[in-house]
Amino acid sequence: MQTHRVGNALAAFSFMLWGLLPLYYQFLPQANINDLLALRIIFSVPFMFAVMVILRRRMPSLATLWQDKRSLLMSALAGLIMCVSWYAFTWAMTHDQVLAASLGFFINPLFAITLGVLFLKEKLTLAQKAAVVLATMGIAYQVWYYGELPWISLIMGSFFALYGLCKKFIRYDALTSVTLEAALLAPIALAYVLITGFMGTSTALASDSNTLMLYIGSAPITLAPLIFFALAISRTSLTMVGLMQYIEPTLQFLLAVFLFGEMFDEVKAISFGFIWLGLILCSLEAISKMFHRPVRPA
């Protein structure tokens, strides 16, 4: 019981940190997203190595990693997919589109449900079917009214769901796979930084020291929640994690509307309403299952 309480607290804390990330990016308005992505990847590697040494007292051997080539390949693919999702997220954070990021994370579970059906042969419950239909209606309403798709939200939600699907096929532990994802992409990111630095086209390297440190700081500031999440996942149930994941987009939604003053008009209210209704149905179903588990005979 004590372990579950610790796990729940760690999970809630990780989602709170993710939800408060928009506050950090307010110090980097109109940031060069390519520079930001490259520096985040590069500095993620030493940061994750340090975390693994502190928490594990050792690093996994290269021979052990090489033995599982499928996991190695899937880690590289997961890293590439995460780059797309993170690129969209960062663009939203630095271009006054926090509400779009919030929508992306609200619809992510529904993309995950769909991928589970398509690739993992999972069966949809009645509540999940209703949630997918309601989310489709919410997005369709925005498209009908605005005449365009909410691309940033859709890219974030779908690619983060694809990232989660890749994780299903990786047998390394969470910290090792996250470290590998950055390490495998680091040479490309380093080459980009060196080339743009040499050509004098790097916004980050040409900025003042405080701004440069903010670029570099995006690595630990975005990885810290992931570490707490990795520590939580083995200490609590996936059901609780699934319910608490809505802390993140809820905080981002509140920041966008009440602190950053982003427009939340009637169209978005109706669109979000459809999606929230679907998520409420899924959450109520999950809670019902938690409290009505069959008792196993002794």
Residue 235 has pLDDT above 80, yes or no: no
Residue 292 has pLDDT above 60, yes or no: yes
268 found inside a domain? yes
249 found inside a domain? yes
226 found inside a domain? yes
91 found inside a domain? yes
In order, the DSSP letters of 88-139 are HHHHHHHTT-HHHHHHHHHHHHHHHHHHHHHHS-PPPPHHHHHHHHHHHHHH
Q: In the chain, what percentage of residues exceed pLDDT 90?
A: 44
pLDDT at 199: 93
Q: Provide CB contacts within 8 A for 33, sequence distance 6+.
A: 87, 90, 91, 94
Mind listing the pLDDT tens digit for each residue in 161-208?
898 888 888 888 888 888 999 999 999 999 999 999 999 999 999 989
Q: What is the dihedral of CA 174, 19, 266, 142, to 10 degrees?
A: -30
pLDDT range class, residue 295, cuts 50, 70, 90? very low
Q: What stretch of H or E contains 24?
A: helix 21-25
296 found inside a domain? no
Q: What stretch of H or E contains 283?
A: helix 266-291
Least reliable range by pLDDT among 147-156, 164-173, 289-298: 289-298
Mind listing the pLDDT tens digit for each residue in 27-44?
988 889 999 999 999 999
Q: Provide the mean pLDDT of the chain.
A: 87
d(CA 179, CA 45): 6
Phi/psi-derived region of residue 147, left when phi > 0, alpha when psi is between -120 and 50, beta in every other case: left
Residue 296 has pLDDT above 70, yes or no: no
Q: What is the mean pLDDT of residues 93-110?
A: 89
pLDDT at 10: 84
Q: What is the DSSP letter of 31?
A: -
Q: What is the mean pLDDT of residues 238-254?
A: 81
Q: In the chain, what percentage of residues exceed pLDDT 70?
A: 93
pLDDT range class, residue 234, cuts 50, 70, 90? low
User: Whole-model pTM?
Assistant: 0.86
41 found inside a domain? yes
**Do the beta carbons of residue 226 and residue 44 sit within 8 Å?**
no
Q: How many domains does the chain have?
A: 1
pLDDT at 192: 96
Q: What is the mean pLDDT of residues 50-62?
A: 80
Number of neighbours of residue 86 by Cβ within 10 angstroms? 21
297 found inside a domain? no
Task: Calculate the alpha carbon distances from 218 to 7, 90, 181, 291, 295 in Å.
Answer: 25, 10, 16, 40, 47
Note down the domain range covering 118. Answer: 2-291
Residue 211 has pLDDT above 90, yes or no: yes
- Cα 128 from chain centre: 21
The more confidently predicted of residues 237 and 226 is: 226
- Residue 237 phi, psi (nearest 5): -85, 155
259 found inside a domain? yes
Least reliable range by pLDDT among 105-114, 228-237, 268-277: 228-237
Residue 120 CB-density burial (10 A; 0-12 exposed, 13-18 middle, 19+ buried) = exposed
